[in-house]
Amino acid sequence: MTDPQPNDQQQELIDSTDGLYLVDAGAGTGKTFTVTRRYANIVSQNDVEPDDVLLVTFTNNAAGEMKDRIVGNCHYGMRDLADAPIQTFHSLCHDVLEEHGHAAPTYLGIDDRITGSTRIIEDELVEQALFEEFIDRFSDDHPEYDDVFRALSNPEDLLGLVNQLAAKGVFPDADGWYRDGERHLDGDFAAFKQQFDELNESRNGGSKQSLLRSKLGRYGRNKTYLPDAPEKSKIRGSGKQVPDDIAQLVFAEDRGELKAFVHDVYHEYLRFALRRNYLNFGMLQLFAFVLLCENHELREEVAFEYVMIDEFQDSSEIQFKLALLLAGTNNICVVGDWKQSIYRFQYADVANIVEFEDRLGRFVEQLNSDHERVSFPTSPITTIELVENYRSTQRILDFSEHGLRVPAANRDDVDVDAVDDRIVSLESNADHENTTIEAVQSDEEQEAVLAKIQGIVGNEDYRVEDEDGGLRAPEYSDVAVLTRTRDFGRELLGTAEEYGLPMAYEGGIELFRTDQAKLLLAWLRILEDDVDRGWAVVLERAGYALDEIDAVLEREAYPENMVEFCEELQGMETLGGVARCVFARYGYAGPTADVVLHTLQSVHNATTQTRGDLIRFIERAIEAGSTHEVHAGAGTNSVTVQTIHATKGLEYPIVILANMNSGRFPPGGSGGGVISYDEPNGVRQRKIYSEEAHGLPHVYDNWQADVLQKCSPREYDEERRLLYVAITRAESHVVFTAGEDPNTFVEELPVEVEEIAPDVTERTQKETEQTPLQVEMPVPEGPRGHTPHTLMHDDVFEDVEGGRGTEFGTQVHDFAEAYALGECVEPRNTDEAHVKQLIDGFDGDLLVEEDAYLPLSVDGDRVTISGIVDLVCVTPDCVEIVDYKTDRGRHGEEEYRKQLSVYYHVAREVYPDREITASIFYTETGSRHEIDPQPIDDIQRLVEEVEPPSGGVSEAIDQ
């Protein structure tokens, strides 16, 4: 993608290693390239080692890519960089806590410790369940907060508040707030007043009331305020503006009890988590921050000589502050693009980059208030702008700027001049100006998208750059459809399958909300005698009207052909057979059906789940909207469908920006009885409880919080940035599509909207290339009770899970399995030769069980398994557990030790009379290291915390 020779700005950044740098690196300006070169340049200095240089990325994938690319252009190899601090904030914090932070909670007045086995909760649903348990208990233990709880509709929402405060750096200590945390909770009246005044400007030169006054037109509507709440006329005043003193009136509210409540929930939740031996992502940063803030010696020990942060627009407030604590010198370089900040829901704070200088000064001042923690000067800051764009044509780049200027809703008025001041325009270095920008509108939007794709593929009007720098007609794989929501993408995928158009979804998708999955669920229910719910769906699908369905269900007089089909299904022995049969009946031959089938099979095959279990599995997946990562198979020629959020950093010659319809945004308000935190309003409770009620409901709306909320201007900035991100994915062609009701974006962008009546050509699947999809599945569970698989699955040993399956490793494992199975395979490299030697080294005949889990067939002499552990050799006297490692150094032996220890203890229970050994086999050198298993107590404690599916380890062994 990028020219191997850096341009002038890139070179300047690569060479400027010392001092403070703020880099505005717009889309497609070769940011990764430049950052990796700069890194190489820094570590090429004699006295600098990779350990001295912190390079922060925001995803693990990005960290891996950085490493790969650094290896390509500096004298360090992958092995030297394996442990180098090129990682996410979260993993860095994890490392710091693991190594030095066991006592970190004591700084917040918490006695419980972080231990080596403290696990990180990654699954949102798992944490929600834990928090619900906590909050139930908390409300029981604290009758003094009954009033607060009475006024909360969903106490479990408090987890969101806690996480938000953690991302802001607001932490509770034993009897108050850590450092100056309380200031955030109180809010900032001056900043609030400024917002208030801006929204309270009268309009049309004074002839029209202010926006704020207009919004307050509904003050009190559908509300129950306490009798002492001011009248609407007092709040709104009689002129065109809300009276000035209302600002102070609504801001001043005694929130002492509320703050105490939030504090206690927060603090006790931290304690709860530690007692249950887990941390969430926010807590990792929280404790790491406190530790680095309080332990001056440690901070200086950990501090890095160089700090670089990539995608800085995605960082949160606490991450900015963490970076300052981790920097030992002012050699700090932040690289990012405010225009691509679209992760506010993930606590990203665009102000970090937009107001970098201001925040840097302010944060350092705060950190140094009682002790000099940051000792370097905060100026000068050098700004470098990367403006040369290697991705898109100039017309696309110019057009993309309009995305930041157009209103995102009718009420949105953009300060165009202010936006323009901020934008650093990009310059294309494309060789061609093969650009089209168009917009289409149709009542049948999905068909319009498909018709448009058919019109594009093979069409010389949409030529794209080929591999040699020339131009060629586009293929399916040159086109990406970007949408705001997964829903639209999923439905589009379904429609594309109907027409036989090759299309593949990339990213997380709610797989079980597809028609395919729902119909399969319906038939499974019929087979399982959950008759009505099953037949209703099946009949509806067959075109029966609602009253007809009712009649059929009541008389149980099902259509004959369907009953026959049902009997056919009943004769099926396997789930796979049933699914295939159902899909065939409905003509589902596309990739979605494949993925559903594959996913269900991998859950089903590996377990003894009954059909009923499976039904519940699907039901839960639908209800929770749980997503499964799907990828198009490599080298397939199909259109990509993605959400805009999932597409960041990627590029496509042709981008179709679909679902440009109104009514979807802006974000709706948050429910009724909530405690919320807003800047600069501080913490507020929307409903309150009062004893003063007489014959009225005891829960009242909080009029002050209501007015405050209306004072906050609606932020559409991120909506516009989302549009910008989408447009800048395109190399040369952009098509907007909208349905019946186009949104303001399509209306206001300088592009003519063409109304079309789509005419999609239907094709059979055979004419188009099939697009295999791969789905990332969690490790399948063992047969019953606890096996290593269920333990891994329940995230007890999740930190090891990420280490599996490098491509190279997989090859070796495949070889080992094939060789053990007696297939004629020759080792292709030294790693495989070593594995062959290892297997040959065992005496006797090999009895192989593929995909087997413990307990293994005890009668056999030895068994290989291709589960989590690679080889288990069972003889009358001993059991040898061996795990191949091809990527020595990627993870420490300690991590593998946990994984093997689980197997060790399970094996010891299965074969109590044999000697058990567990070892790691490094395929590269052919050396085998027996590990010293972790004590059973540690394992046991972890096991106890995980609810076994049924029975426990011993039950699994009995079978």
Partner DNA sequence: AGGCGGCACCTTTTT
Partner DNA sequence: GGTGCCGCCT
CB 582 within 8 A of CB 569: yes
With vertex at residue 149, the alpha carbon angle to CA 146 and CA 153, rounded to the nearest 5 degrees, is 155
Quick one: which of 221, 555, 694, 766 contacts DNA (CB under 7 A)?
221
Can you point out the beta strands (E) in 131-263? none
d(CA 773, CA 516) in angstroms, rounded, equals 15
Number of shown-chain residues binding DNA (CB under 7 A): 55
> Minimal distance in Å, beta carbon 776 to DNA?
11
Q: What is the largest CA-CA distance in the chain?
A: 97
Q: Is 58 in the site for DNA (CB under 7 A)?
A: yes
Identify the H or E element spanning 365.
helix 356-367
> Minimal distance in Å, beta carbon 306 to DNA?
21
Q: Is 100 in the site for DNA (CB under 7 A)?
A: no
d(CA 560, CA 563) in angstroms, rounded, equals 5
179: closest CA among 325, 328, 308?
325
Window 372 to 431, contacts with DNA (CB under 7 A): 409-411
> Minimal distance in Å, beta carbon 114 to DNA?
17
Q: Is 115 in the site for DNA (CB under 7 A)?
A: no
Region at 165 (left for phi over 0; alpha for psi -120 to 50; beta for the rest)? alpha
Q: Is 209 in the site for DNA (CB under 7 A)?
A: yes
Was 26 annotated as part of a binding site? yes
C-beta contacts of 485-493 below 8 A and 24+ residues apart? 485/643, 485/659, 485/664, 486/510, 486/627, 486/643, 488/658, 488/659, 489/641, 489/642, 489/643, 490/514, 491/446, 492/446, 492/449, 492/450, 492/641, 492/658, 493/592, 493/641
Stretch that binds DNA, among 3-11, 214-222, 521-529, 775-783 (CB under 7 A): 214-222
Q: Is 709 in the site for DNA (CB under 7 A)?
A: yes
Residues recorded for the chain = 959
Stretch that binds DNA, among 530-538, 660-668, 778-786, 941-949 (CB under 7 A): 660-668
Task: Starting at the earlier edge strand, list the strands of the sheet with 773-775.
Answer: 507-509, 628-632, 773-775
Assigned token pair, 504? 């593949």
CB 334 within 8 A of CB 353: yes
CB 187 within 8 A of CB 680: yes
d(CA 653, CA 897) in angstroms, rounded, equals 47
Site string for DNA, 452-491 (x = CB under 7 A): --------------------------------xxxx----
Residue 669 or 841 having the CB closest to DNA: 669
Q: Is 228 in the site for DNA (CB under 7 A)?
A: no
Q: Is 714 in the site for DNA (CB under 7 A)?
A: yes
Tell me how far CA of residue 107 lies from CA of 56, 103, 174, in angstroms.
26, 8, 9
Query: What secondary structure letter does DSSP report for 781?
Result: P
CB 890 within 8 A of CB 801: no
Window 555 to 614, contacts with DNA (CB under 7 A): none
Was 176 annotated as part of a binding site? no
Was 809 annotated as part of a binding site? no
Q: What are phi and psi of 786, to 5 degrees?
A: -85, 125
Quick one: which of 31, 37, 67, 90 contacts DNA (CB under 7 A)?
90
Quick one: which of 346, 574, 761, 830 contacts DNA (CB under 7 A)?
346
Quick one: which of 60, 154, 379, 954 contacts DNA (CB under 7 A)?
60
Quick one: which of 479, 569, 646, 749 contacts DNA (CB under 7 A)?
646
> Minimal distance in Å, beta carbon 589 to DNA?
26
Q: Which residues pair with 504 in a beta bridge?
A: 640
Was 469 annotated as part of a binding site? no
Quick one: which of 633, 672, 822, 935 contacts DNA (CB under 7 A)?
672
Show the 3-state SS of 377-427: CCCCEEEEEECEECCCCHHHHHHHHHHCCCCCCCCCCCCHHHHHHHCCCCE
Burial degree of 767 (CB within 10 A; 0-12, 13-18, 19+):
exposed
CA atoms within 13 A on the CB side of 342: 19
Quick one: which of 4, 72, 75, 222 contacts DNA (CB under 7 A)?
222
Quick one: which of 17, 91, 676, 771 contacts DNA (CB under 7 A)?
91
d(CA 596, CA 602) in angstroms, rounded, equals 10
Was 25 annotated as part of a binding site? yes
Residues 6+ apart with CB under 8 A from 239: none
> Minimal distance in Å, beta carbon 61 to DNA?
5
Residue 40 or 167 having the CB closest to DNA: 167
Q: Is 122 in the site for DNA (CB under 7 A)?
A: yes
> Minimal distance in Å, beta carbon 387 to DNA?
27
Window 776 to 815, contacts with DNA (CB under 7 A): none
Was 27 annotated as part of a binding site? yes
Stretch that binds DNA, among 170-178, 360-368, 515-523, 705-713 (CB under 7 A): 705-713
Q: CB atoms < 10 A from the CB of 709, how many? A: 18
Q: Is 435 in the site for DNA (CB under 7 A)?
A: no
Site string for DNA, 153-192 (x = CB under 7 A): x---------------------------------------
Quick one: which of 204, 415, 694, 841 contacts DNA (CB under 7 A)?
204
Quick one: which of 4, 72, 256, 345 contacts DNA (CB under 7 A)?
345
Of the chain, the end-to-end C-alpha distance in Å amounts to 56
Quick one: which of 243, 666, 803, 926 contacts DNA (CB under 7 A)?
666
Stretch that binds DNA, among 59-67, 128-136, 587-595, 910-918 (CB under 7 A): 59-67
Quick one: which of 313, 638, 643, 728 contacts DNA (CB under 7 A)?
643
Binding-site residues, in ranges, read 25-32
User: Which residues contact DNA by CB under 7 A?
Assistant: 58-61, 88, 90-91, 122, 124, 153, 204, 207-209, 213-215, 217-218, 221-223, 240, 281, 342, 345-346, 409-411, 484-487, 507-508, 643, 645-646, 662-669, 671-672, 686, 701, 706, 709-710, 714
Binding-site residues for ATP, in ranges, read 25-32
